Each structure stands twice: as structure tokens, then as C-alpha cells.
């Protein structure tokens, strides 16, 4: 992975993340580099401020386009504003008074953008435990009742972010994407206060049944798949194991044991506060105890019955490649695994340094879900 800040993995990763999403409307290269130049990689506040300033600036431009009745320009500009504000919110401390406001403004930018899409996404609320899980249905243009992939993001993902790249590649292949803020994610966490849980299949089944009962006129309810990215790789596999009605499973970044991921870290890790938040834990020790349930061990992986694709990077520094190798060894269903070799472009966590090696995954999923 190219390091904008030599020797500084996490801030460099975020720059690469924005650059990769720029291909799909989530940024502009020059704007991203401009922001990156203002950041001191050892100063979290400089990261927050640089992205926040650019996000607010671009949001203002989008409002001007909207006022001047320029919907295409407004759409493109709101999408960039969303991603810059999302990035700004990412490393803000939970005690930071700007955090919630930044998130809500980012979400507003995305919601304003999608009203100008040619194929307008549906905003959905899946009933869940006296509240709801927010979601978006992105449908391919010109396809009547397409198959659909239900998808959860990762520890640091928002449902809106799944549009950039993942949504595009699925839609190009005639597949709808139902991007969901599951427990511990996005608006489900920040606005509805629904925390994460090891039995993610409960949420998976709730979404599956919502699709079947409410979206018959929008998608083919006989062809519903499950997907997850990063920490969502655990969520998708868990859902697939306990909800056999899903037709295909896409594990975009494998997680064999999320406890194992965090047991090797400390409370000083840059993402430690985030994982404590999603788990509703008051200490790092409490997080580790709760994470013991986040595993595909003890026969869980063996219960996955539908065709499954595992995508992983050989240089993944967040969820090591051994997670993918171990999961693949325990699968008894039809499956395929692609590991981008160490040192190659796309070998980083969830191919944030190059999305192109994932094309084979989407082709395989399209073949299986349309069969």
C-alpha cells in the first residue's frame, strides 16, 4: 500500500480509502491530496479538522448547485461531501461535541445526493427489537425484480459507504444491494442506540424476512444473498450459518475470531474506543470478554450451506490472512477463495489500496445468485 505518511499506517490507510472511493464518486483526487497535506499524522485533531473543513466546504458547494437547479452537479458534490465528513467523524473521540453533528451532516449529504440519482434508492427501516435498522436499496437500472445482496459493513462502516464500489459493481451485474446499518453500525448505533452482538444472524434473519414480506415488487425474493466487509466478514458468515435461506454468501474480508483480532491489541489502539462504543463496553477488558462470542469456531462455519466466496488480502494488517485460510478449511459448502498475494496492489485490508482484484468476486457472486 502506498503510504502518504511514511511509517504511519492508519492515516495513510484512510487516504487510500478515500482515493479508492473517489473512482465511484466518493471524492476528488486533488481535494483528497489537499486535505492529506494539511494533516500531521501524529496529531489526531489535525486529521479531524482537515477533513471537516473540506467536507463543510464541499457541502456548501453542493447547496449552491442545488439552489441553482443543477441536480447532477449537486448529486456529485453531495456524495463527495458525505465521504469527507464521514472520514472526519471517524477518529473523533466520543466526547467530542462535533462527532454526532458531523455524522448527521454526512448522512444528510448522502440523503440529499440520492434524491438526484436516476435510479432513486429506497430508504428502508427494518423493524428490530422495538426500534429499526436503517437501510438503502440500490437497484440496477433497467432490471425488473433483480436478485439482491443484503450487506453489512464493518466496525467503522456506514451503510451509505457501501454504495461506493460495492454497490456499483453489483448493480453493473444486474444485482440489487440492500445496504444495512446493522447493530453497532451507522445510524443504528448513533441514532437508535442499537449495539453490536455476536449472534448477528438475528439481525440477518430480520432483514431477510423484511425483504420477503415487503419488497416483492422491487426484487426477486427467491434470490437473496448475504454479504459483509471487514468485521462484516464475520457477520455475513454468521448469518449464512444460521439462516440457510440465503442463496449465496460474500465474505469480503474474513474474520475467524474477532476476539483473536483484538486480543493481540491494546486499549491504546486507534480503533479501541470505537470497538468499546459498538460493544457498549466500559473498559477494554469488558470488550474482550464480549468479543469471545464473535467466532466461527465450534461448528459455526461448518453450518454454512450456500455457495460462499472469501476475498482477502495477503498483507491485511487488521484481520490477518490466517483468518481467511482457517475459514476456508472449515467450509463444507461450495466455495471459492481469492487471496491477493503479499506485495501486490490490492493486498491490503479489504483491497482499500486497489479494488480491481475484487472483480472476480462480483462475477462469481453474479453467476451463483442468478443460477
Sign of the CA dihedral 191, 192, 193, 196? negative
pLDDT for the residue numbered 2: 85
Residues 316, 310: contact at Cβ < 8 Å?
no
| Strand arrangement of the beta sheet that strand 131-138 belongs to | 122-128, 131-138, 176-180, 148-152, 224-229, 249-252, 308-313, 335-340
Please tell me the distance from the alpha carbon of residue 198 to that of residue 186, in angstroms, as a whole number: 17
Sign of the CA dihedral 16, 17, 21, 26? negative
The percent of the chain in helix, strand and coil, each rounded to the nearest 5, is 45, 15, 40
240 burial via Cβ count (<10 Å: 0-12, 13-18, 19+) = buried
pLDDT for the residue numbered 1: 80
pLDDT in tens, the chain (371 residues): 889 999 999 999 999 999 999 999 999 999 999 999 999 999 999 999 999 999 999 999 999 999 999 999 999 999 999 999 999 998 899 999 999 999 999 999 999 999 999 999 999 999 999 999 999 999 999 999 999 999 999 997 999 999 999 999 999 999 999 999 999 999 999 999 999 999 999 999 999 999 999 999 999 999 999 999 999 999 999 999 999 999 999 999 999 999 999 999 999 998 999 999 999 999 999 999 999 999 999 999 999 999 999 999 999 999 999 999 999 999 999 999 999 999 999 999 999 999 999 999 999 999 999 86
pLDDT for the residue numbered 371: 64
Please tell me the distance from the alpha carbon of residue 161 to that of residue 158, in angstroms, as a whole number: 5
Q: What burial letters (b/e) apply to 333-371, b meaning 16+ CB within 10 Å?
A: eebbbbbbeeeeebbbbbbbbbbebbeebbebbbebbee
How many angstroms separate the Cα of 138 from the Cα of each of 119, 157, 193, 221, 332?
8, 17, 25, 15, 32
pLDDT for the residue numbered 311: 98
Tell me how crowded residue 213 is: count the other CB atoms within 10 A of its CB.
9
- 182 half-sphere exposure, CB direction, 13 A CA radius: 35
Residues 30, 24: contact at Cβ < 8 Å?
no
Please tell me the distance from the alpha carbon of residue 117 to that of residue 243, in angstroms, as a whole number: 33
Sign of the CA dihedral 35, 40, 46, 48? positive
Backbone angles phi, psi at 97, to 5 degrees: -65, -15
Classify 202 as helix, strand or coil: helix
Please tell me the pTM assigned to this model: 0.97
Classify 177 as helix, strand or coil: strand
Largest separation between any pair of C-alpha atoms in the chain = 59
Amino acid at each position: 500500500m502506498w503510504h502518504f505518511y511514511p511509517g504511519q499506517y492508519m492515516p495513510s490507510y484512510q487516504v487510500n480509502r478515500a482515493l479508492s472511493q473517489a473512482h465511484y464518486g466518493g471524492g476528488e483526487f486533488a481535494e483528497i491530496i489537499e486535505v492529506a497535506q494539511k494533516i500531521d499524522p501524529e496529531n489526531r485533531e489535525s486529521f479531524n479538522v482537515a477533513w471537516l473543513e473540506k467536507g463543510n466546504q464541499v457541502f456548501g458547494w453542493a447547496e449552491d448547485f442545488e439552489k441553482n437547479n443543477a441536480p447532477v452537479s449537486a448529486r456529485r458534490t453531495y456524495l463527495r461531501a458525505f465521504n469527507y465528513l464521514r472520514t472526519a467523524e471517524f477518529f473523533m473521540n466520543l466526547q467530542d461535541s462535533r462527532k454526532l453533528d458531523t455524522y448527521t451532516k454526512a448522512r444528510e449529504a448522502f440523503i440529499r445526493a440520492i434524491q438526484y440519482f436516476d435510479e432513486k434508492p429506497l430508504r428502508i427501516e427494518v423493524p428490530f427489537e422495538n426500534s429499526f435498522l436503517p437501510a438503502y436499496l440500490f437497484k440496477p437500472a433497467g432490471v425488473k425484480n433483480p436478485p439482491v445482496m443484503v450487506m453489512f459493513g464493518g466496525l467503522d462502516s456506514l451503510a451509505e459507504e457501501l454504495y461506493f464500489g460495492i454497490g456499483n459493481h453489483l448493480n453493473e451485474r444486474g444485482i440489487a444491494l440492500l445496504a444495512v446499518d446493522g447493530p453497532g453500525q451507522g445510524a443504528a448505533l448513533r441514532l437508535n442506540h442499537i449495539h453490536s452482538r455476536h449472534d448477528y444472524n438475528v439481525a440477518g434473519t430480520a432483514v431477510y424476512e423484511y425483504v420477503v414480506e415487503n419488497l416483492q415488487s422491487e426484487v426477486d425474493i427467491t434470490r437473496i444473498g448475504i454479504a459483509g466487509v471487514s468485521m462484516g466478514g464475520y457477520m455475513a458468515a454468521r448469518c449464512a450459518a444460521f439462516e440457510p435461506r440465503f442463496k449465496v454468501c460474500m465474505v469480503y474480508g474474513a474474520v475467524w475470531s474477532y476476539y483473536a483480532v483484538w486480543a493481540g491489541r491494546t486499549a491504546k489502539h486507534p480503533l479501541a474506543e470505537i470497538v468499546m462504543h459498538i460493544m457498549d463496553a466500559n473498559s477494554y477488558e469488558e470488550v474482550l470478554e464480549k468479543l469471545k462470542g464473535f467466532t466461527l469456531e465450534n461448528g459455526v462455519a461448518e453450518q454454512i450451506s450456500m455457495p460462499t466466496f472469501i476475498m482477502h488480502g495477503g498483507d491485511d494488517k487488521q484481520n490477518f490472512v490466517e483468518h481467511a485460510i482457517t475459514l476456508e478449511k472449515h467450509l463444507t459448502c461450495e466455495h471459492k477463495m481469492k487471496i491477493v498475494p503479499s506485495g501486490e496492489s490490492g493486498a491490503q485490508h479489504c483491497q482499500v489500496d486497489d479494488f480491481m482484484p475484487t472483480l472476480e468476486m462480483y462475477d462469481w457472486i453474479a453467476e451463483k445468485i442468478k443460477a
